[in-house]
Chains A and B, each alone.
Chain A
């Protein structure tokens, strides 16, 4: 199974760029990489998804190297409101099953003024 490994926590200051790396050494050919964000007392919210190279949207960028064994979520110029838990999920396709829905422990990002 494509288990994911993320740092438990990270600290940053407002205005800085934050990069959170997720390791997924056993990623399968058909797997996608998806990141969710969860604020306290709320359900997770989709941030970004990618398969290879780089994906960018209005919220974040996702960098995926050629071997796809890791991925990095990049949050540009974070603010206090980016304080949350960030989850990396790996899976995809019809045969993935519940392993694509394994949220793991996530990375707790604390942004300070």
Chain B
């Protein structure tokens, strides 16, 4: 298996622009997680899905952030409009999703976002 796939790997944009990050989970995994990592705040959970349904989005910073999972093999995280403080590495992870939140998560390589 190719593992969790994220695109783009790097993104540089200007403040105010829309940014869309993409994730393809491991085939057969039913849970998907979006994290954000910065030096100041560490690794933070933004939102997670189970069977394509958002379960907990309380970590989404504000209305500028939105996430969707239209099917089992694809998810997007959108920031609109982007701000410099959104600069971070965004990770997507997936797990089998059999019910336990403590299942092993498999992380993607991350998207390094820089908002100028």
Chain A residues close to B by CB (< 8 Å): 31-32, 34, 36, 38, 41-46, 49, 87, 89, 91-94, 96-98, 100-106
Contacts and interface: CB of A to CB of B under 8 A. Distances in A.
B42 A96 contact: no
B101 A92 contact: yes
A57 B108 CA distance: 23
B110 A42 contact: yes
Contacts of A38: 43
B102 A43 contact: no
Contacts, number: 65
A34 B33 CA distance: 17
A106 B37 CA distance: 13
- 9 tightest A-B contacts by CB? A43-B107, A92-B102, A103-B43, A46-B104, A100-B101, A101-B45, A32-B102, A96-B101, A43-B91
Contacts of A89: 102
B29 to A, nearest CB: 13
Contacts of A92: 100-102
A42 B100 contact: no
B48 interface: yes
A89 B33 CA distance: 15
A97 B47 CA distance: 11
Interface in B98-116: 99-102, 104-110
B55 to A, nearest CB: 8
Contact of A93 (B48, B100, B106, B110): B100
B102 A98 contact: no
Most buried by A among B43, B100, B107, B108: B43
B14 interface: no
Contacts of A32: 102
